Amino acid sequence: MKFGLMVNEGPYTHQASDTAYKFATAALEKGHQIHRVFFYHDGVNNATRLTEPPQDDRHIVNRWSKLAEQHGIDLVVCVAAALRRGIKDEILAKGFRISGLGQLVESGIQADRLVVFGD
């Protein structure tokens, strides 16, 4: 099965990003595909390379980057939501790219299921 994911909440303030990441890794382990992860609303904060959690905490942004690199997953950040929060191309972490809502629509069409994490 091919999944599209949508993450609407930022890291460290809501469980949505952690849950989406764990869902993605579990799906991949079971042989499913992740077509795209679309970060929307406060979820765009998952994409900034400026995030620096304490050494003993998980680095959510790096987790997404590594997952995308290992499995060829498209990590898309909503342009309007990103700009509202001061996130531009130059501060994106590795593997993330900025694009529009059309990428979310396309993911909904191409994936068998679109799973939403967060409000």
Of the candidates 71, 58, 74, 68, the residue with the CA atom closest to the CA atom of residue 28 = 71
Look up tokens 């942004």; give the residue. Answer: 61
- Which strands sit side by side in the sheet containing 113-117, from one edge to the other? 96-99, 74-78, 33-39, 2-7, 113-117
Strand (E) or helix (H) holding 116:
strand 113-117
Q: Do the beta carbons of residue 47 and residue 87 sit within 8 Å? A: yes
Which active-site residues does the annotation give? 78
Look up tokens 């994911």; give the residue. Answer: 5
